[in-house]
């Protein structure tokens, strides 16, 4: 790594690297207007090797990455790409020394794996289904189902927080556990309903304490309408108790992680 | 927080045209190919400033917030009815305040950025055509 850094340094006054967004088939073209991360946002280019290619842009390696508009730029580029062609998205922040390294160390050694994975993903898209409990509804459920919560609730009623801190911590802990159990059950219900319509399911970690489900699925484009209908039905079943958001199609972030070089 | 959400008519499903910044962080910082596993020699370590959008780790703050939420919950009219809906709306303010400051910041940033950037589906970045562009 240090050798590579030195060679970049030697190239000029600004130390630049190559930011890598994704692997795509080589028979694609990039809109010349496409912009990626960086300030100002750098033009996105293609580095090809045989049947695969990498979406890249030049980047100043001195400046830290991760401004909100950079995160969004990475995601929008990949999702817009996924809408057109199969794509293997790369996690945010991948920078290599130069374009030669993209070919020599990335595309060439793993050409066949990437090519096979792209073929496998052709005609499929990822969707993310995020369900979040309506707080008042789920708390009402828990109070009705759990006598201890109902009792503790009476105990803290109208008291200041510092006076009933222990009771409050206990009630909060029970509620948290109850939500975890509900989340598990509701996530199972959702995945069971969607699995027959999908080519892959990945249950994600919850990203919010009121999450009821956070699930990524891979769907064949030909079955999209059928899939969306099933999600709409799930949303109707949850109405009032939880809200559901369907994101996608997005790049198949959740379905490329199994691709790893031989150790 | 849900300004981008368009109700899908009839059902409770929302189909936002783009994810919030929190959605994006949940995805691109945590999923996808990890280049370090492939590229070793020419990998350039670059500082990545990011926020962990996850506040799920159960904490004292979470517990106290839940307790306050049940304390305020109006259960006088049992079942799901207007009182609970009103309770929910009243809690909106308190909830937002008590929520992790990080997430609040992330979500509001997301909204602002979204307004600035517009719909992400507009641009067609990469397409499959017969013609090959000049390669760089």
Each residue's pLDDT tens digit, B9-32: 445 789 988 888 888 888 888 899
| 3-state helix, strand and coil shares in percent for chain A, rounded to the nearest 5 | 45, 25, 30
For residue B56, the model assigns a pLDDT of 53
- Alpha-carbon gap: A40 to the closest alpha carbon of chain B (Å): 15
- Sort out which chain A residues have CB atoms less than 8 A from B125's CB and list them: 30-31, 34, 44, 77, 80-81, 84
- Alpha-carbon gap: A49 to the closest alpha carbon of chain B (Å): 11
pLDDT at A209 over 70: yes
Output the average pLDDT for chain B: 60
Q: What is the DSSP string of B1-59?
A: --TT--B-SSSSEE--SS--HHHHHHHHTTSSB-GGGT--TTB----B--------S--
Q: Read off the pLDDT of each residue in A19-27 and give the average, rounded to a whole number.
A: 97
Q: Which of A142, A141, A21 is nearest to A89 (CA)?
A: A21
Q: Read off the pLDDT of each residue in A144-150 and give the average, rounded to a whole number.
A: 95
Q: Is A139 close to B95, i.e. CB distance below 8 A?
A: no
Residue whose structure tokens are 């073929």:
A119
For residue A1, the model assigns a pLDDT of 43
- Sort out which chain B residues have CB atoms less than 8 A from A169's CB and list them: 60, 63-64, 67
User: Which residue did the predictor score with more confidence, A111 or A8?
Assistant: A111
Give ipTM to 2 decimals: 0.80
Asked if A130 reaches chain B (Cβ–Cβ under 8 Å), the answer is: yes
For residue A99, give the 3-state DSSP assignment. helix
- Sort out which chain A residues have CB atoms less than 8 A from B120's CB and list them: 72, 75-76, 79-80
For residue B79, the model assigns a pLDDT of 46
User: Which residue did the predictor score with more confidence, A157 or B128?
Assistant: A157
Residue A30 pLDDT level (bands cut at 50, 70, 90): very high
Q: Is A175 close to B70, i.e. CB distance below 8 A?
A: yes
Each residue's pLDDT tens digit, A177-186: 999 999 999 9
For residue A151, the model assigns a pLDDT of 95
Instruction: Check: CB of residue B90 under 8 Å from CB of residue B3.
Output: no
Each residue's pLDDT tens digit, B33-60: 999 889 988 999 888 886 655 555 668 8
For residue B93, give the 3-state DSSP assignment. helix
Q: Is B40 close to A105, i.e. CB distance below 8 A?
A: yes
Q: B40-62 burial string, b = 16+ CB within 10 Å, else e?
A: eebbbebebebbebbbbebeeeb
For residue B4, the model assigns a pLDDT of 43
For residue A253, the model assigns a pLDDT of 96
For residue B45, the model assigns a pLDDT of 85
Instruction: Check: CB of residue A69 under 8 Å from CB of residue A112.
Output: no
Residue in A44, A47, A72, A234 to test binding to B, most B beta-carbons within 10 Å = A72
The values of phi and psi at residue B3, to 5°, are -65, -25
Q: Between B11, B43, B65, which is nearest A96 by CB?
A: B43
Residue B80 DSSP one-character state: S
Q: Is B70 close to A171, i.e. CB distance below 8 A?
A: yes
User: Which residue did the predictor score with more confidence, B27 or B79?
Assistant: B27
pLDDT at B132 over 70: no
Q: Looking at chain A, which residue has its C-alpha nearest residue B94?
A: A135
Among A36-45, A107-116, B75-84, name the one with the lowest average pLDDT.
B75-84
């Amino acid at each position: 790594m240090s050798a590579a850094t030195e060679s970049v340094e030697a190239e000029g006054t600004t130390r630049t690297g190559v930011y890598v967004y994704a692997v795509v088939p080589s028979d694609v073209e990039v809109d010349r207007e496409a912009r990626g991360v960086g300030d100002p946002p750098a033009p996105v280019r293609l580095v090809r090797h045989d049947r695969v290619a990498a979406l890249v842009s030049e980047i100043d390696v001195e400046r830290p990455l991760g401004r909100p508009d950079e995160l969004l730029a990475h995601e929008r580029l990949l999702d817009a790409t996924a809408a057109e062609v199969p794509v293997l998205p790369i996690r945010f922040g991948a920078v290599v020394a130069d374009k030669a390294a993209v070919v020599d160390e990335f595309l060439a050694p793993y050409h066949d794996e990437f090519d096979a994975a792209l073929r496998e993903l052709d005609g499929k898209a990822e969707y993310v289904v995020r369900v979040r409990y309506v707080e008042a509804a789920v708390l009402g459920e828990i109070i009705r189902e759990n006598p201890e919560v109902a009792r503790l609730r009476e105990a803290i009623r109208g008291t200041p927080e510092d006076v009933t801190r222990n009771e409050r911590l206990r009630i909060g802990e029970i509620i948290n556990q109850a939500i975890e159990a509900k989340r598990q059950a509701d996530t199972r219900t959702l995945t069971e309903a969607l699995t027959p319509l999908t080519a892959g399911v990945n249950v994600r970690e919850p990203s919010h304490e009121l999450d009821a489900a956070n699930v990524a699925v891979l769907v064949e484009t030909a079955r999209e309408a059928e899939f969306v209908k099933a999600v709409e039905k799930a949303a109707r079943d949850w109405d009032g108790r939880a809200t559901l958001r369907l994101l996608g199609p997005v790049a198949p972030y959740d379905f490329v992680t199994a691709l790893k070089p031989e150790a | 927080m849900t300004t981008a959400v368009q109700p899908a008519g009839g059902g409770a499903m929302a189909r936002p045209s783009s994810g919030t910044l929190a959605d994006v962080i949940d995805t691109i910082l945590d999923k996808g190919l990890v280049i370090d596993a492939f590229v070793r020699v020419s990998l350039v370590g670059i500082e990545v400033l990011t926020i962990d959008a996850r506040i799920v780790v159960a904490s004292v703050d979470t517990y106290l917030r839940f307790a306050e939420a049940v304390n305020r919950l109006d259960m006088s009219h049992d079942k799901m009815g207007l009182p609970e809906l009103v309770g929910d709306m009243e809690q909106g303010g308190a909830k937002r305040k008590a929520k992790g400051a990080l997430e609040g910041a992330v979500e509001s940033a997301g909204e602002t950025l979204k307004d600035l950037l517009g719909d992400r589906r507009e641009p067609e970045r990469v397409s499959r055509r017969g013609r090959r562009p000049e390669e760089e």
